[in-house]
Amino acid sequence: MEQQLQKLIEEVCRYEEGTPQRQKALNNLLIIVQQFPGIKKDGHQDYLEALNKTWEWFCRSIHKFDNSKVDSSESLQITLTRWINGYLKWRIKDLYASDSHYTISLDQPISNDEGSKVTRLDILADSQGGSTSLDLLDIKIAEIQKSEKKTWGERVAKFIEQDTGNELKRRCIRNNAECNCQLLAQRLLLTKPSHKIADIARELNVSNQTIYSHWKKKCLPLLKEIGMKIKD
């Protein structure tokens, strides 16, 4: 592990920024370094942004990491962790400074909803403060969509249904007026769950490929254009 780490750092430093050799070595180095258990954690809601900045800095600056002055009794992993934390610590300080917060102790007990005392660190272990979990995503999306008075999607749906200028209806495949962009948009975009191209093809007695290419080449560019107009 130590040897591999040493080898990868040398490999990264041997090549100039932007070269494929450096990019490949960096990728492998990151995979190892990100697993270091000593990388500093924090309960601030923007901690992950600080961490992201740190990895960006790490990739840019790894050639400045100087291992030569290090006490040989220490492992490379420990030295490197300390070097990374030295930067991350300041990015975390920036977060608290911009909040004009003071540093909160992770071990200080705080009350949760049930009235029992937990520490900030306990909460941190359960969830990342402020972010959305997959289980709660449905609720969150329903909320944000409701708050947008009328979504753009709804406006487009209305346009497709009305098609006042017959812009969509007019675009049909040769010899089959029924197979037009309005019908395809209704079936493929508006109906939930959407119809399959194969089913529509059977119903209208045309081939899958004809419908697919009409949809792709004629209808979608038109819808895109209409969408632009509606947004403006």
Partner 1 sequence: MNSTQPDYLQIPLGKDAHQKAEEFAAEQDGLDKGKQVYLNTLAVYAVNNYLKWLSIETALHQSDSWNWSTRTFFDIADLMLPNVGRIECRPVLPGEEVVVLPQEVTQERIGYIAVRFNKQLDFVEILGFVPARPIINNSEIIEINRFESIDILIDIINRRKMKVNLCQWLEGIFNQDWESPELVLAGSFRSTATMTRQYQDSQTSSISRAKVVDVGRQIVLLMELTPTNSAVFDIRLRVYPAENTLHLPQDLQLTIFDESGDACMNTQAEIANDWMQLEFDCQHEEKFSVELKLGEISIIEEFIV
User: Does 99 help bind partner 1 (rule: CB under 8 A)?
Assistant: no
- Per CB under 8 A, the list member of 61, 75, 127, 162 interacting with partner 1 is 127
Restricting to residues 28-47, which ones interact with partner 1 according to CB under 8 A? 30-32, 34-35, 45-46
- Per CB under 8 A, the list member of 7, 14, 140, 217 interacting with partner 1 is 140
Q: Compute CA distances 183 → 65, 227, 230, whole Å.
A: 62, 17, 20
Two tokens, residue 210: 């004809």
User: Does 224 help bind partner 1 (rule: CB under 8 A)?
Assistant: yes
224: number of CA atoms within 13 Å, CB side?
7
User: Does 110 help bind partner 1 (rule: CB under 8 A)?
Assistant: no
Stretch that binds partner 1, among 79-87, 100-108, 201-209, 221-229 (CB under 8 A): 221-229
- Per CB under 8 A, the list member of 15, 36, 48, 94 interacting with partner 1 is 48
* Closest CB to partner 1 among residues 10, 17: 17
Respond yes or no on whether the N-terminal peptide bond of residue 193 is cis (omega within 30° of 0). yes
3-state secondary structure of 114: coil
Q: Compute CA distances 54 → 15, 84, 92, 213, 229, whole Å.
A: 21, 7, 10, 47, 42
| CB 69, min distance to partner 1, A | 26
